[in-house]
Amino acid sequence: MKLRKAKGLSQHDVAQSIAISRPSFAQIELGNRSLDVFELQRLSSVLGFSMVDILSVESKITAQARQVMEATVDHELRVSEPELHIEKFTSVLLYLLEQCAGKANINESGLSSLLYLCDFNYYEIYEEHLTGAAYRKSGNYPVAEVFYSTINIMIDTEIIKRIKIKTKGFFSIRYLPLEQGKLKCLNAAEKIVIDQALLRIGNWSANMIQDHTQTDFPLIATKDGDRIDYNLVFYRDLSHSVRTYD
């Protein structure tokens, strides 16, 4: 309400802008009605706030408002628990290594971030899972729960190789592919999303990849150590979203 008044807008003005009735908007201000994600996106545009800032650690939003924001995704429409397809996960991981293993920017955390973006971008566009891997927030990075176990199996079976590289006095871990990935388990749409993720950030610096990933809404809205909810992709801002919304 304070933000609306500071902008010099009436309830009628805002209600018209987000395509709901004035009584419905009044109920929102009273806390008796929640917004769906599309209304929330329109409201953020009208009032000039960022959905990322609202749930960021630095935000001064109250705990009650945080709960309201997190409840706006329509879970009845988008309940889809990830179910791991290990063959797809392995194939995507190997394909990513084939495309960028020789690049200095793709260290272990960069690889993990690319996997995360492939999975979460696909879910945002199609509301279905790509590899079905579950991810946790670990030290501000997204890490698939099967990442390290899969990596170790692939090393043991001589599919990839782990190496340490020293750059500017610091060691980083990288992985090199020893054989070609099999993409038969991926359909055309899945491969397009993977290639788009590579095209978008594959040539960025390690710091740019880190910043892009850590400011993605699902990471910001998740506590360290917790699983990252795929449905949080519907809160992304324009710099992270890969879907065209009505």
Residues 41 and 95 in one domain: no
pLDDT tens digits for 11-69?
888 778 777 777 677 667 766 676 766 677 777 777 776 655 555 544 443 444 445 44
Residues 106 and 157 in one domain: yes
Residues 116 and 25 in one domain: no
For residue 10, what is the domain's CATH number?
A: 1.10.260.40
pLDDT number for residue 72: 47
The answer on pLDDT for 219 being more than 70 is: yes
Residues 141 and 186 in one domain: yes
CA distance linking residue 210 with residue 212, whole number of Å:
6
pLDDT tens digits for 95-111?
999 988 667 778 888 89
Number of domains in the chain: 2
CA distance linking residue 136 with residue 144, whole number of Å:
6
Residues 17 and 98 in one domain: no
Residues 114 and 27 in one domain: no
pLDDT number for residue 23: 65
What's the predicted TM-score (pTM) here? 0.68
The answer to whether residues 233 and 218 touch, using CB atoms and an 8 Å cutoff, is yes
Can you tell me whether residue 136 is helix, strand or coil? strand
Over residues 204-227, mean pLDDT: 92
As a dihedral over the C-alpha atoms of residue 45, residue 127, residue 94, residue 216, rounded to 10 degrees, the angle is 20
| Residues of the domain holding 58 | 2-70
CA distance linking residue 143 with residue 228, whole number of Å:
10
Most confident range (mean pLDDT) of 54-58, 121-125, 171-175, 202-206 is 121-125
The answer to whether residues 239 and 219 touch, using CB atoms and an 8 Å cutoff, is no
